[in-house]
Structure formats: C-alpha cells, structure tokens
Amino acid sequence: MSDLGHVLVLAGGLSYEREVSLRSGRRVSEVLRATGTDVETRDTDASLVPYILADPPDAVFVTLHGGAGEDGAIRSVLELLNVPYVGADPDACRVAFDKPTAKAVVRSVGLRTPASVTLPKETFHDLGATVVLGRIVERLGLPLFVKPARGGSALGASFVPTAEELPAAMVGCFAYGDTALIERYVEGVEVAVSVVDLGSGPIALPAVEIVPDEGVYDYAARYTAGHTEFFAPARLSAAAAAACASTAVTAHTALGLRDISRTDLIVDGDGVPHFLEVNVAPGMTETSLLPMAAEAAGQDLGELCRTLLQNAASRSAAS
C-alpha cells in the first residue's frame, strides 16, 4: 500500500446536511490524526480548487452528505484535478443517490425492496393531488412511508399511517426535493449494514439495529444522543444476519460502489431483508452507524479510514 503524506477531509458543503457533514469531518480528522496521519479539513468553497492545485493531497476522504457530496459532482471535480479519493466514482454516485433508480437496480439483481411510486412535484400539482394520492393509497395500501427521491438524514421523510396524513407528508417532502418516493411501509426491524473494501473485496460489517424512542428514525433521532437505542450487532437470527450481509454486499456490487457504503434495510417477521436505500458517504459522527459497526467488528475506525485512503492513493498510482 502507498505511504501517505498529507490527506484532505472534505466536510460542510451547502446541502441541508451541512452540520452533520461538519461533524463527520471532525470525527474522521480526529481518528486519522490518532493514527499519525497528517490531516487537513476543508469546506467546499471557492478556495478549495486553488488549495488543491497548490498542494495536492495524497488522497481525499469525502464526508459531504447530500447534494454535491453524494451525487458525484464533487468527485467529478476531484477527478478533473487528478486527486484520488475514497468512495464510489461519479457515475455510481449518481445512480445510488437517486433512490428510485437504486431501487430499480437492486430489484434487477433479485433483492427485495418495498413497492413504491415516484412522483415529481409538477405531476402532483398538475394532475390533481387528491385523485393521484387516492390512487396511490389504493395501489400501495397503508401505512406508507414518504421521502425525497434524493437526499438523506431523513429530512422531509414521514411515516404515513392514514390517507388523511398523506397530503401533509407530501408537502413536507417537497420542501426538501422536487420528487417524492412513496413506499409501502414494511413492518419489521430496521438495520443498517455498512460495507467496506480494504483491498480484498467488499465485506459487510455487523448489522446495526436501530430502535428510536419515538418509533421513527428521523433527523433528531439520528443525531441527538439518547434519542435512539442501537444494538451492534443487531439482535437477529444467524440466518437473518447473514441475509442482511449478503443483501448489502449485493447492493454495493450491483450499484458499482467502491471502498465504502451503508445500506439501510427492514427485516420483516420472516427474517427477510428489504432494501430501502444506500448511502455512498456514510455518516461518521458519534451517533453514526458505520463507526458503531466498525467497533462491533473489532476494527479501529482510524486505521480503517487510513487504509481506505492508502488504497485510494495506490489505485491512483496504478492507473
């Protein structure tokens, strides 16, 4: 593996998830410094490209969440600058970041994912909200789950137990994006499975079970300590845990991801995992799921991040 000189952690950005990104960046920088790595943390402002051109880093760790951090835009710029980075390439990011597209890809390789309807805001308004929403309820049944087709951290996402609550959920969703994904709600155990490739192919870390105090894993439950109980590894049967691991690795591979990802699943009463979405820049905060999974696997987070950076640098040198 390549020796590392200095590395760059990108954090912040202008998405709705800026504050979470800054926390992830601080955490990654801290654990890397604990390994003796020379780390600089930068925001994605007008000074970034001149900074990189003046002193190119050996590799970049992207902790930008939502928007340009996960849709491939920043990674396209890094490729223009010939700077290696941890994570999926721009094309794979674009596919994974769009939830309906990602669902179609994983369904094509045999994974289960909740039945859904994708509805742009214009269609919602132009064709008559009442009629369209009525047909959605008839087709998918209740309860439902509504979320923006692009984005993360559960911003704009709502659990919808009754038809009367669906219009408000749609309005809340459209506040964070122009397209809504309406899914049939699957009752079960919510888990997240992180996948890492440290050089020998993608492997799943132990699943983390998520039990929010209020029943819904929303923004507050994700990032406020004490609002959610986590179990790492998840309290699943051996067969269900293996199925979750296989599902996450299959999704990672089918979507063309690289180095690191996190797949969110619901495990139904029969122990069958249902794919919800995948994250190409998993959160790295104190309450985030990938660090919990790494700890459950007995892996030091700093060494894991350093290995990913070394692999990115080596991959660039080889090409």
**Positions marked active-site:** 17, 153, 223, 262, 264, 277, 279, 283
Q: What is the three-state SS of 94-130?
A: HHHHEHHHHHHHHHHCCCCCCCEEEEEHHHHHHCCHH
Q: Residue 288's closest CA among 205, 214, 215, 182?
A: 205
CA 163 to chain centroid, in Å, comes to: 29
Cβ neighbors of 45 (< 8 A, separation 6 or more) are: none
How many Å apart are CA 308 and CA 319, to the nearest integer? 17
Question: 120 and 149 in contact (C-beta within 8 Å)?
Answer: no
Q: Residue 142's closest CA among 171, 172, 182, 184?
A: 184
Longest CA–CA separation in the chain, Å: 61
Question: 151 and 174 in contact (C-beta within 8 Å)?
Answer: no
Name the β-bridge partners of 311: none
